[in-house]
Structures are given as C-alpha cells and as structure tokens.
Amino acid sequence: MEGLFLILGIIWLAVVSPGADFAMVSRLSCIDGRRAGLLAALGIAIGCWFHIGYAMFGIAIVERLFPQFLIVLKISGAAYLIYLGGTMALSQPASTLDTTLPSRLSGSRSLTMGLLTNGLNPKTAVFVVSLYAQVIGPGMPLAAQLGYGAVISLSHLIWFAAVATFLSRPSIRARVLARQRLANACIGTILILLGVVLGLSDIVSPGAPTTT
C-alpha cells in the first residue's frame, strides 16, 4: 500500500508540473474555448499510451539482454526527477500567454494537437520510462502494469480537463498565473525530495525493489 501511494504521488506531481502539455492546453482553452481545451486533454490522455507501451515492453527486453542497464536507467530516473524539480522551483512564472493561435479550431484538430504534443513530449517520455524502471519495475504482473498505465492516462485527462475548464474563465486564469511562482516552488521541492529518496534507495540496495 505504501508503494501504491508513492507511485500515485509521483504520477500526480509529474502530471501537474508545467510543460508543453500545460502550455498547449492553456493556449487552446484561453483562445479557442473550453471545448478545444477538453478535446486537447483527451488527446493528451491517448498520447500517454504511446509512452506507456514502449516503457512496458522495451524495459523488459533491455533487462533480459543488459541487466546492469536497468540500474543505470533507475539512477537516471531519479536524477531526472531532481532535475525537473530544480528547474521548476527556479523557473519564472509566465506573465502572459501566447495569443497567436487561430480563433477557432475543429474538434479533430484540437484532439490531434493534444495527442501529438504529448506523444512527442520528451518530458513525458523520460518520466514514464523512469517511473516504470525506477518504481513499478518490469517484474510486476502485466495486468498491474496496464493498471498503472491507465492511472497515468486518466490522471492526465482529469488534470488537463480541469485546466481547460478553469483557464477558459478569464478570472480564474488571472488567479492561477498570479500564484504560479509559489506552485512551482512547492511542487519542484517535492519532486527533488522524491528523486533523492529514490536515488538513495538504489545506492543503498541497488538490487532490491523500491516499493512494497
């Protein structure tokens, strides 16, 4: 149970961290309206399965062929969490949003933009691979791995649907931007601590699983 809460915490901290997905949904929601933002959120959730697929099956193959590579990947995953947290904690809040997008987009275009933005997002790629190597592990039953994949996808859908809903309202948008610095600092610090804990767990016991 402790391992489950750890995984859920890491997933949600990564999902809500600012990045390409957030910027794209924010732009669509503020400029083209709530419907465009919600469809983009759905596209992001679908795009997550691209990363989940190769993370699940790719890691299993690598572990069989190159056992030591998995340890390196786990440590790299911890380093990525620390890097992501540090970058976020030190980042400056955006004062304005880009207003260069067309005033109206078709539903299919909004969905495609969300799917491609996430599918080509290196942040999501490294996060998902790191999570499956660092915490979930290829030794977990396939059904459980798919279940965590569903949690990742659903978490993206819920969060970015909420972002689209709130940022399509001008008053809410202004409040979020005003508090962006504090949110970045808090979430960044938590990610750094998680990265340190996960990294130290592999240094102390590199062959042991990090969850229970």
Q: How far apart are CA 207 and CA 190, in angstroms?
A: 25
Q: How far apart are CA 143 and CA 148, in angstroms?
A: 9
CA 47 from centroid of its chain's CA atoms: 11
Average pLDDT, integer, range 148-165: 94
Q: Residues 84, 33, 165, 175: is their CA dihedral positive or negative?
A: positive
Structural domain harbouring 93 = 2-97+104-204
What are the structure tokens assigned to 12, written together?
A: 């949600």
Q: Does a structural domain hold residue 141?
A: yes
Summarised one tens digit per residue, pLDDT across range 104-117 is 668 888 999 889 88
Q: Which residues contact 96 (CB under 8 A, 6 or more apart)?
A: none
Contact 198, 78 (CB under 8 A): yes
Q: Does a structural domain hold residue 115?
A: yes
Count of domains observed in the chain: 1
Q: Does a structural domain hold residue 211?
A: no
Q: Does a structural domain hold residue 69?
A: yes
Q: Does a structural domain hold residue 209?
A: no
Q: Does a structural domain hold residue 70?
A: yes
- The amino acid at residue 148 is Y
Tokens 């819920």 found at:
158
Q: Could you give the 3-state DSSP secondary structure of residue 137?
A: coil
Summarised one tens digit per residue, pLDDT across range 160-201 is 999 999 888 877 766 766 777 776 787 778 778 877 876 776
